[in-house]
């Protein structure tokens, strides 16, 4: 059975994400995807698979309902870890070096991430991913994610309206700025880095 866990208290991200928003987002949306997924896979070959394996198999076999709910369950679990109450507003170490190598500097990375997040039409996710010895910004629609591809997710921002509307209404850009400046869990992002031919993981 797939489980859902919130790694901190509902008020841990205040004032940038309110306890009301986090309770609604986690209890209604994340848990809803997990509960539906468990019902869909009960008694099937998918039931005992690890979530990432399940996503890959559902994608290969075009089990769209299972795939969408599995991806949303995984995406949300990854989102919670991508944010920290003690958000370190600047990366350091290897991940900072890779950001500078890939984007020029941290400010340019933030600008490009912000543009991708504000420019994503409708619902979806914006990711920082690793592709070999480079980093990229990836925007995905609806439930899509880089799980099961050659890209390694490092952190993600949810830009579905339910992630921010109670706090920011239609001002998605303010929510994105709060994430970029106050909430990013850079230690989590750095821990997700993989070794490349030129460097070792942090």
What is the pLDDT, as a whole number, of residue 196? Answer: 76
Average pLDDT over the chain, rounded to whole?
93
| Angle made by CA atoms 184, 130, 142, in degrees to the nearest 5 | 70
CA-CA distance, 21 to 164, in Å (whole number)?
A: 7
Go through the domains of the chain in sequence order and give each one's CATH number. Answer: 19-82 (1.10.287.990), 93-191 (3.55.40.20)
Cβ atoms of residues 7 and 81 within 8 Å: yes
**Residue 88 scores a pLDDT above 70:** no
The DSSP result for 7-43, as a single string, is SS-TTTTTTTS-HHHHHHIIIIIIHHHHHHHHHHHTT
What is the pLDDT, as a whole number, of residue 90? Answer: 85
Q: What is the pLDDT of residues 17-72, one digit of tens each?
A: 999 999 999 999 999 999 999 999 999 999 999 999 999 999 999 999 999 999 99
Give the chain's length. Answer: 202
CA-CA distance, 163 to 26, in Å (whole number)?
A: 9
- The burial of 188, by beta-carbon neighbours within 10 Å (0-12 exposed, 13-18 middle, 19 or more buried), is given as middle
What is the pLDDT, as a whole number, of residue 155? Answer: 97
Q: Which residues contact 180 (CB under 8 A, 6 or more apart)?
A: 110, 113, 114
Distances 165 to 17, 147, 161, 187 between C-alpha atoms, Å: 10, 27, 5, 27
């Amino acid at each position: 059975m797939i489980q859902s866990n919130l790694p901190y208290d509902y008020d841990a991200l205040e004032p940038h994400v309110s306890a009301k928003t986090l309770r609604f987002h986690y209890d209604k949306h994340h848990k809803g995807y997990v509960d539906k997924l468990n019902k869909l896979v009960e008694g099937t070959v998918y039931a005992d698979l690890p979530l990432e394996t399940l996503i890959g198999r559902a994608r290969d076999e075009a089990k769209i309902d299972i795939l969408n709910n599995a991806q949303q369950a995984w995406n949300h679990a990854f989102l919670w870890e991508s944010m920290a109450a003690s958000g370190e507003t600047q990366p350091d170490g290897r991940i900072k070096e890779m950001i500078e190598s890939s984007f020029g500097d941290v400010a340019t990375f933030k600008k490009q991430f912000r543009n991708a997040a504000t420019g994503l039409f409708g619902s979806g996710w914006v990711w920082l991913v690793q592709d070999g010895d480079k980093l990229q910004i990836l925007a995905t629609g609806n439930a899509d994610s880089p799980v099961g591809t050659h890209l390694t997710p490092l952190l993600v921002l949810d830009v579905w309206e339910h992630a921010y509307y109670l706090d920011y209404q239609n001002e998605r850009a303010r929510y994105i700025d709060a994430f970029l400046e106050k909430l990013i869990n850079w230690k989590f992002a750095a821990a997700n880095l993989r070794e490349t031919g030129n460097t070792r993981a942090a």
